[in-house]
Amino acid sequence: MSKRVLILGGGVAGLTAAHELLERGYRVCVLERQSIAGGKARSVWHEGLPAEHGFRFFPGFYKHLPDTMRRTPVGSGRSAFDHLEWSRLDRLAFMDGSRILTPPSFPRSLRMLWLSSSIPFRLLRKGLPLRDLLFFGGKLWRIVTSSFERRAGEYEKIGWMQFVQADERSQQYRDLLAVGPTRILVASKAEEANTKTLANVSMQLIFNTITPGETSDRLLDGPTNEVWIDRWLEDLRGKGLDYEFDQEVTRLVVEEGAIAGVEVGGPDGAARRLEADYYLSALPVEVMGRLASDELIAADPHLAGLRELRHHVNWMNGVQFYLAEDVRLNPGHIIVSGSPWALTGLSQQQFWSDYSLAEESDGRVHGCLSVDISDWNTPGLNGRRARDCSRQEVVEQVWAQLQQALPELRGIEYVSAFLDDDIVQAEDNPHHEINLEPLLVNRADSWRLRPEAWTALPNLFLASDYVRTYSDLACMEAANEAARRAVNALLERDGSDAERCEIFPLREWWLFAPLKWLDRRRYERGKPWSWLPLP
């Protein structure tokens, strides 16, 4: 009989691991805390309309996740990958109502060529000093000509804001260049993230944007669970997956240096113990950090880093505004530069060709503006931090910031709104919010805290975005890659001759290979990066 694997967590990592293990003949059971599949990627329902933890974003440099989506049938001969749409025109919005439109892919028309080539001039018109623009260009040059070894060994220990010397430049430099371009990825939060992570992300996004036939910005053509997650789960269940909802892992039982079982609490409060041949944890870092008991750490001392890493998190949660009309803002994502709560957004109905909000709402709703709040600690227009506001106050303040930055929304009232239900009021303070599902931020010098996908325990493997990966970012791509690494490690431990999961390294642009080679020689000799990288 094939061996049984118990997967803890049913988000993207857990589903990916289940996908790969089922293809290789293992019996798999997934335990999910929520009553809906998908983890942080899930979409839910609010008054019969789709809502979400935050909008989905699929950058062009994602390789692992699209590969899995191509192998996920959704009917009519299509795969989940076929539900990805290219963003056509992103928008950098300002609090004075002005905007800069930015093509997320290589120009395919004269208008797009003009918009792309004029970005530096439009930034200068927004008050960015020319010396700051040239200075940041120098920082980008340093990134693309630095060797992998220098990024991993030196830049990982340096904060991004320190690297770009944001405190020494203008406020426009900070808002438009140091922080703004990566705002859509909270896991790359510029104020906290290390330089290696942001350098890698920046390089990949630039390559996607300037390479013909590629794009830096993709999104789904319908609600996430409707067009992807639920179809994925249905396919895996058809292959024998046992997926259990409302199951919260409360303890990893360690005996004689191995996992002997897991204790689980169900919706009725009853506890039970489950056992398997192998255990694969796809739980987020803030949960796994709590489960890192003294017994677990004694079996693998490196897992002690999870206790510190669980505090390296930040908030990024969404609010959806349902509108009586489909307000066409721009066909892509929106970054609201200078917004107190670091808002990003997307007008969704324009991309949902086969899903009609009007039909689902009896004509009440025709549009949905999905917005992510990335800064919960800065006072808003009302002088209060988002985390100190009630749920209704958060919604109202986000709408006020949006109306200030997006002229198309002025004079419009939303029909209803939904704030991510992971935001709940603290029991001891009704005026203070807590977040049930924060996101990991790769802070400076945090790589040493992060484990590999395998552990010293012979039957425990880790598949979550805090695991060491090429992706190196708390996102769906890293979760998918970590799951592949965990499955490969399990196959190795089990002595299986099954084909290993493919792992895709980040792209290094060949044009700069000679300069990177020279920089690697310099780094190995203890020399700093140089504009003229003579060995």
Q: In tens digits, what is the pLDDT along the chain, a chain of 535 residues? A: 799 999 999 999 999 999 999 999 999 999 999 999 999 999 999 999 999 998 999 999 999 999 999 999 998 899 999 999 999 999 999 999 999 999 999 999 999 999 999 999 999 999 999 999 999 999 999 999 999 999 999 999 999 999 999 999 999 999 999 987 666 665 456 788 999 999 999 899 999 999 999 999 999 999 999 999 999 999 999 999 999 999 999 999 999 999 999 999 988 878 999 999 999 999 999 999 999 999 999 999 999 999 999 999 998 899 999 999 999 899 999 999 999 999 999 999 999 989 999 999 989 999 999 999 999 999 999 999 999 999 999 999 999 999 999 999 999 999 999 999 988 866 545 555 677 888 999 999 999 999 999 999 999 999 999 999 999 989 999 999 999 999 999 999 999 999 999 999 999 888 899 999 999 999 999 999 998 766 6
Cβ pair 123, 176 in contact under 8 A: yes
Q: Distance (Å, rounded) from C-alpha 394 to C-alpha 431?
A: 11
Which ranges of 41-194 would DSSP assign to H, the alpha helix? 64-70, 110-117, 119-125, 130-145, 148-153, 160-163, 171-173
Q: Distance (Å, rounded) from C-alpha 395 to C-alpha 402?
A: 11
Q: What stretch of H or E contains 430?
A: strand 429-435
Q: Which residues contact 244 (CB under 8 A, 6 or more apart)?
A: 29, 30, 31, 32
Token pair in block for residue 110: 């004269």
Cβ pair 150, 529 in contact under 8 A: yes
- Written as one letter, the residue type at 369 is L
Fill in the DSSP letter of residue 338. Answer: T
Q: Distance (Å, rounded) from C-alpha 109 to C-alpha 443?
A: 40
The DSSP string of 98-129 is: -EEEE-SB---SHHHHHHHHTHHHHHHHTT--
Write down the domain spans for the chain.
4-42+62-82+223-311+444-493, 43-61+84-103+217-222+316-437, 105-215
Token pair in block for residue 284: 């987020």
Neighbouring-strand partners of residue 481: none
Burial 69-101 (b: 16+ CB within 10 A, else e): beebebeeeebbbebbbbbbbbbbbbeeeebbb
Closest to 294 in 3D by CA, of 281, 276, 307, 275: 307
Superfamily of domain covering 4-42+62-82+223-311+444-493: FAD/NAD(P)-binding domain (3.50.50.60)
Q: Distance (Å, rounded) from C-alpha 167 to C-alpha 139?
A: 15
Q: Distance (Å, rounded) from C-alpha 31 to C-alpha 287?
A: 14
Neighbouring-strand partners of residue 336: 93
Q: Distance (Å, rounded) from C-alpha 19 to C-alpha 483?
A: 10
Cβ pair 502, 67 in contact under 8 A: yes
Q: Distance from first CA to last CA of the chain, Å, rounded?
A: 58
Cβ pair 200, 41 in contact under 8 A: no
Q: What is the dihedral of CA 138, 144, 146, 147, to 10 degrees?
A: 180
Cβ pair 193, 314 in contact under 8 A: no
Count CB atoms within 10 A of the CB of residue 109: 9
Q: Distance (Å, rounded) from C-alpha 328 to C-alpha 355?
A: 17
- Written as one letter, the residue type at 188 is S
Q: Distance (Å, rounded) from C-alpha 491 to C-alpha 124?
A: 55
This prediction's pTM: 0.95
Count CB atoms within 10 A of the CB of residue 200: 24
| Per-residue pLDDT at 435 | 74
Burial 479-500 (b: 16+ CB within 10 A, else e): bbbbbbbbbbbbbeebebeeee
Cβ pair 225, 35 in contact under 8 A: no
CATH number for the domain running over 43-61+84-103+217-222+316-437: 3.90.660.10
Q: Among all chains, which residue has been given the structure tokens 């922080």? A: 179
Q: What stretch of H or E contains 445?
A: none
State the Cα angle at 335 between 331 and 339, rounded to 5°: 140
| Per-residue pLDDT at 92 | 95
Cβ pair 410, 385 in contact under 8 A: no
4-42+62-82+223-311+444-493 and 43-61+84-103+217-222+316-437, same CATH topology: no
Angle between the N-to-C axes of helices 476-493 and 12-23, in degrees from 0 to 180, rounded to the nearest 10:
40
Fill in the DSSP letter of residue 444. Answer: T
Radius of gyration of the chain (CA): 23
| Per-residue pLDDT at 187 | 47
| Per-residue pLDDT at 533 | 65
